[in-house]
Amino acid sequence: MTTAVQLERIAPVARPGGRARSALWTGALVAYLVGTGVLAHSSSYEQGLLLVAAVYSILALSLDLVAGATGLYSLGHAGLFALGAYGTTILSTHYGWNIFLALPVTVLAVGLVGVVIGALSLRVSGLYFAITTLIFTIIVNVLISDLNITGGYTGLASPPFPNFPHALSFLGSSLAWAVCGALLITVTLLWSIRSSALYPALLAIRDSEPFASSVGVRTSVTRVVIFSLSAALAGLAGWTFSFLGFITPGQFDSTAAVNILVMVILGGMNTRTGPIFGAVFISLFPTVVSMNPLWQEILFGSIFLFVIVFFPEGFVGLLARGGRWLRTKWRPQRGRARPLTEGTPKVTEGTLNANGWGPARKGAGGAKVDVTVQGQTDGATPAPLLPRVALEARGITFSYVKGVKALDNVDFVVERGSIHGLIGPNGSGKSTLVNLLSGELSPQQGTISINGERIEHRPAWQRPGLGLMRTFQTAGMVKELTTRDNVGLGLFSQFRFIEARSVIWPMLPSARRDSRRMAAVASTSLSAVGLGEPWSASRLADVPHGIEQLTQLAAACASQPSILVLDEPLAGLSAGEVDEVATIARRLKADGVTIIVVEHQTRFIFEVCDAVTVLAAGELVKAGSAAEVRADDRVREVYLGL
Amino acid sequence: MLQVVLTGLSTGAIYGLVGMGFAVVFYVTRVINFATGQLLMAAIMVTAALSAGHWPVVVAVAAGLLTSTLGGVVIYFLAVRPVLRFNRLSFAWLVSTLGVAIILESAAALIWGTSSLSFPQLLNGRDVNIFGAALTWEQIITIVIALGTVVAFEVVHRRTLFGKLGTAISSDPEMAAALGANVTLHAVMAFAVGGLLAGIAGVLVGPISFANPYLGETYGIYGFIALMIGGIERPAASMGGGFVLGILATLASTYINPQAADWFPFVVVLAVLLVTPNGIFVSGGALRRRFDALRRKPVAASGSAV
């Protein structure tokens, strides 16, 4: 316990491949610009085709941000696209605005509309969100078909796009540069987000909102902002589209709305390049393939059917499968281990003991007066004087349905540095109490405080900042991420401005460093629960249940909380794994962490816990030391059934 | 006013039937069959083509219904089953069923051309007077058939083991399969019934709409809206949604202007979804809860007085 290992020694350096990687990206950028230059000099027919494909790529990418990563299947993007296109054209031709002034205005305005639609996603989800947003598109479509200012069914002619000044005229078509520039901006933004620490958080919002907010992600705000960003990009697509020819309501109808989603799914949802492939295919196919239009439609539909039936992950899924096959064939397994030498994660203010976790970050760490901490780790930063009680809930009353009290005037007091068991028969209100402590629910009466600070009406995402982390009875984490990435998500609250930095993440040295720190701390935390190399790189979808539970524990512990709430951590674990959890709990306690365990396995509770609170039918039966509770007659009666 | 309501009901009955076609499929398989409107179109086209070939009307209609029913089953095996086997929760079915819709529409246009064909008049177009409102027999029959369909569906759904198993499958297919439900059979039946309902709607609307390959899209959208208004979780509710939609559209075109029928229903749908996101006719919907709460209040008050 006392061998302190400085985290510096295990944090990784800048990746050795970093330079090669940035050279690669620079090369790709140069190639893209050269390609744009070539396009800008090509025939207007070719430009017309490819620029439309580029615009739809922007649109499909923007939709994939909300549909693929955040799980909001929007059919409103055709409407947002229409607002961008019509807004630009009307501002420019009707009100005589300069188009470069119209650009920020339309993008912002469409982004604001996105805020409203995004706020809808807090009320309706899944298919109903798709339907509601489809109605938005239909309403926009009806408006642009019926209003005079939009030119009705005939639509509007595009405003002129200014040519380059003479000095730059060698660049060719200015419009081609503008459209390709917009695509470049979109790709940069979205790929940055995909490589940022926000991306796992988005997936968590999509797959398991309680987990996301338990690690400190502001799920509602993030959703709305992400949707707004996506809407703004759709507005940008609309701005560029307005210069490519006549705009008519038919380009923005419900079919178009579905088509954008089809581009994303067909190309490969939640992938970097999939939406681009899908957009290019769908926008070019009707022009490039020239045959009887009806036969062409039949071929078009058959390709939809064929690709999705045989490659449900779309074009990119097909490519990836091919790629994986090639790799396993040609390149034998190569270790991923890298020398780890530099960089101090912010999360450890003191030291890290041999097992991976240092003293609790907030409170509890130092050897202070009556704090019951055994096996002090050395070198800990002395914590400020903290009350002996770490968490206190008084007079908690909560009902899900009016008149039926799930908890009735319950007191729950947890001493600092102790392991506190919370037991009771099924339906006694344990999980409700845990959800109140973690902020999933808010009590109708009573107070909850951490370190003397009242928190009962604070949202769940603020808990990690207060040093409280929790696990869930049924682990809901992001299946498609590795266990390490899931654990890294547990550190979300430890890094500042992740949301704001995400849009240019790979370009920020600080962000790259944070990513590496996250990965390093996550690996350490995983090895602290006994999950080493083979597991840390496995996708969560591929690991057995016990490993998933331990991963969850590692995620909760990674940020070194001062209070850890474990909701049935033993559910579905093997005997060996139960012993492991017991060891981990004792070790955490030795590090000064206060632990609250909800559990049915009484053997575990009475062996590990210092104090135990017993609930039955929403009421407090007994609270006291493990021995007292065990000896109590009422407890035997209600809980042990004796 | 009564005229408007009755006309609206008869239009709405068509939308409701298509909506139920969507809903039955969704209910069991959690898939929205985007080719439902095209199945309606297929029924109309086959019926029209056969009756143009001097087949008896009854045979033509039966063939039309058979086409859409079998079409539903084919869609399941061709476009839905393979996708669901890969990932039950992905939206990939959107692309595959849409692909089928495109194929059906274009194939129909290839076979029968893009201009409208005549549709056999099933009955003479005489009007019936109901309390001062004039309706054709066709409109009345449409409403009656729609109501009959709802009743038949609800009886099967609530009173038979087959229907109850459908409920079980819709909430948890794996569990239902473990309990011995034949999930595939239910899915096939759902697609068949979905196709049949769309076909019935087609045969009923044919005399007014004539036969055109592009009808599918129009009625598909309206059926879908009926589904949204009613609530997606209960197939019979789609019929209610269809009636609401039909009446609203007729009201709007009568009292606002003829174009209002295009947008007024959508505004209403948006309002409905904002207030009660799961549809009006679904139990536990926000409106329903509020309504129940209002009803319960006096009871509670009298209870406390005692």
CB contact under 8 A, A298 and B100: no
pLDDT at A376: 38
Nearest to B263 among A120, A139, A269 (CB): A139
Q: Residue B290: its pLDDT value, please?
A: 53
Average pLDDT over residues A368-394: 53
Name the more confident of A610 and B133.
Answer: A610
pLDDT computed for residue A349 by the predictor:
33
Residue-wise pLDDT tens digits, A405-437: 888 888 888 888 888 888 888 878 888 888 888
Q: What is the DSSP letter of A170?
A: G
Residue A350 confidence (pLDDT): 34
Is there a contact between A395 and A586 (Cβ–Cβ < 8 Å)? Answer: no
Q: Is the pLDDT of residue A383 over 80?
A: no
* Sign, Cα dihedral of B192, A311, A188, A259: negative
**Span A146-184, pLDDT tens digits:** 888 888 888 888 888 888 888 888 888 888 999 999 999
Q: Where do the H-state alpha helices sit in A412-508?
A: 430-437, 483-489, 498-501
Closest CA to B45 of B194, B193, B219, B222: B219
Domain count, chain B: 2
User: In this structure, what are the phi and psi dihedrals at residue A445, rounded to the nearest 5 degrees?
Assistant: -140, 155
User: Is A617 or A9 the better-scoring residue by pLDDT?
Assistant: A617
- DSSP at A539: B
Q: Mean pLDDT over residues A453-470, rounded?
A: 84
Shortest Cα distance from B92 to chain A (angstroms)? 7
Comparing A371 with A332, the larger pLDDT belongs to A332
Using the predicted structure, report yes or no on whether residue A612 has a pLDDT greater than 70.
yes
Q: Under an 8 A CB cutoff, do B277 and A303 touch? A: no
Residue-number span of the structural domain to which B290 is assigned: 282-306
* Amino acid of residue A344: T
Highest mean pLDDT among A9-23, A173-187, A245-259, A341-355: A173-187
Q: Does residue B261 carry a pLDDT above 50?
A: yes
Name the 3-class secondary structure at A392: strand
Return the pLDDT at A337. 40
Cβ contact B274–A123 (<8 Å): yes
Domain co-membership, B55 together with B174: yes
Q: Smallest Cβ distance to A265: which of B91, B106, B228? A: B91
Residue B22 phi/psi, 5-degree rounding, is -65, -45
- Read off the pLDDT of each residue in A454-470 and give the average, rounded to a whole number: 84
**Quick one: pLDDT at residue B194?**
93
Q: Which of A123, A255, A309 sits opposite B82 (nearest CB)?
A: A309
Examine the domain organization and report whether B295 and B197 are in the same domain.
no
Is the pLDDT at A28 greater than 60? The verdict is yes
| Residues, chain A | 642
Of B83, B106, B266, the CB nearest to A301: B106
- Say which of A123, A261, A309 has its CB closest to residue B94: A261
Region A627-632 average pLDDT: 80
- pLDDT exceeds cutoff 90 at B86: no
Mean pLDDT of B218-228: 87
Angle formed at CA A545 by CA A541 and CA A551, multiple of 5 degrees: 75
pLDDT tens digits along A229-250: 999 999 999 999 999 888 988 8
What pLDDT, on the 0 to 100 scale, is given for residue B82? 86
* Together in a domain, B257 and B289: no
Question: Does B111 share its domain with B169?
Answer: yes
The percent of residues in chain A predicted with pLDDT above 90, rounded, is 16
Looking at the structure, do residues B43 and B174 belong to the same domain, yes or no? yes
For chain A, give every domain's residue range: 49-287, 389-640
- For the segment A598-607, the average pLDDT, to the nearest whole number, is 82
Residue B166's identity, in one-letter code, is G
Q: Give the tens place of pLDDT for each residue, A122-147.
A: 877 777 788 788 888 888 888 888 88
Examine the domain organization and report whether B222 and B179 are in the same domain.
yes
| Contact: B83, A309; criterion CB under 8 Å | yes
**Are B302 and B239 part of one and the same domain?**
no
CATH, residue B258: 1.10.3470
Do B269 and B146 sit in the same domain of this protein? yes
Angle between helices B161-171 and B183-209 (to 10 degrees): 100
Locate A514 and state its tokens.
Answer: 């944070």
Which residues are CB-contacts of A90 (< 8 A; sequence separation ≥ 6)? Answer: A149, A150, A156
Å between A627 CA and nearest CA of chain B: 42
B78: left (phi over 0), alpha (psi -120 to 50) or beta: alpha
Name the band, by pLDDT with cuts 50, 70 and 90, for residue A385. Answer: low
Taking residues A319-332, what's their average pLDDT? 77
B113-124, pLDDT tens digit by residue?
A: 878 777 777 666
Query: Dihedrals φ, ψ of A597, to 5°?
Result: -120, 125
Q: Token match 């923005």: residue?
A: A252
Structural fold of domain A389-640: Rossmann fold (3.40.50)
Chain A residues with beta carbon closer than 8 angstroms to that of B79: 305, 308-309
Q: Which tens digits make up the pLDDT trace of B140-158?
A: 888 899 999 889 888 888 8
Tell me the H-state helices in A289-427.
293-310, 314-330
- Would you call B107 and A298 a contact, using CB atoms and an 8 Å cutoff? yes
Provide the pLDDT for residue A245.
86
**Given this model, what pLDDT does residue B305 score?**
36
A18: left (phi over 0), alpha (psi -120 to 50) or beta: alpha
A104 vs A8 pLDDT, higher one: A104
Pairwise CB contact (< 8 Å): B92 & A262: no
Q: Do A139 and B267 touch (CB under 8 A)?
A: yes
Name the closest residue on chain B to residue A255, using Cα atoms.
B217
Contact A353, A380 (CB under 8 A): no
Task: Give all strands (DSSP E) within A369-476, no chain letters.
Answer: 389-398, 407-415, 419-423, 445-450, 453-454, 468-470
Which residues have a Cβ under 8 Å from the Cβ of A543 and sit 6 or more positions away?
Answer: A483, A535, A551
Verify that B259 and B290 share a domain, yes or no.
Answer: no
How far B302 CA lies from chain A's nearest CA (Å)? Answer: 16
Pairing of strands B133-136, B127-130: antiparallel
B227 token code pair: 């589904």
Residue A479 pLDDT exceeds 80: yes
Please give the mean pLDDT across all residues of chain A: 80
Q: Indicate yes or no: CB of A305 within 8 angstroms of CB of B277.
A: no
Contact state of A142 with B266 under an 8 Å Cβ cutoff? yes
The CA distance from A148 to the nearest CA of chain B, in Å, is: 14
User: Minimal Cα–Cα distance from B200 to chain A, Å?
Assistant: 25
Per the document, the length of chain B is 306
| Residue A65 in this model has a pLDDT that exceeds 90 | yes
Nearest chain A residue (CA) to B273: A132
Contacting residues of A for B273, CB less than 8 Å apart: 124, 128, 131-132, 135
Looking at the predicted structure, is the pLDDT value of residue B42 above 80? Answer: yes
Distance between CA atoms of B205 and B142, rounded to whole angstroms?
Answer: 8
Q: Which residues of B touch A274 (CB under 8 A)?
A: none
Q: pLDDT digits over B286-305, tens only?
A: 555 555 555 554 443 333 33
| CB nearest to A312's CB, from B86, B98, B266 | B86
B184 and B267 both lie in a single domain:
yes
**B21 and B170 co-located in one domain:** yes
First-to-last CA distance in chain A? 41
Confidence grade of residue A332 (pLDDT, cut at 50, 70, 90): low
Does the pLDDT of residue A474 top 90, yes or no? Answer: no
Which uninterrupted H or E stretch holds A612?
Answer: strand A611-616
Interface test with B, best of A137, A207, A305 (most B CBs within 10 A): A305
pLDDT range class, residue A640, cuts 50, 70, 90: low
Q: How far is A356 from chain B (nearest CA, A)?
A: 38
The residues on A that touch B, with CB distances below 8 Å, are: 67, 73, 120, 123-124, 127-128, 131-132, 135-136, 138-139, 142-143, 145-146, 254-255, 258, 261-262, 265-266, 269, 294-295, 297-298, 300-305, 307-310, 312
Same domain (yes/no): B266, B290: no
B108: closest chain A residue by CA:
A294
Higher pLDDT, B101 or B84: B101
Element at A28 (helix H, strand E): helix A18-41
Is the pLDDT at B275 greater than 60, yes or no? Answer: yes
Most confident of A148-157, A530-539, B15-24: B15-24
Nearest CB among B82, B90, B98 relative to A304 is that of B98
**In angstroms, rounded to a whole number, what is the distance separating the alpha carbons of residues A276 and A55?**
10
Q: What is the pLDDT of residue A17?
A: 61
Structure tokens at A141: 């479509």
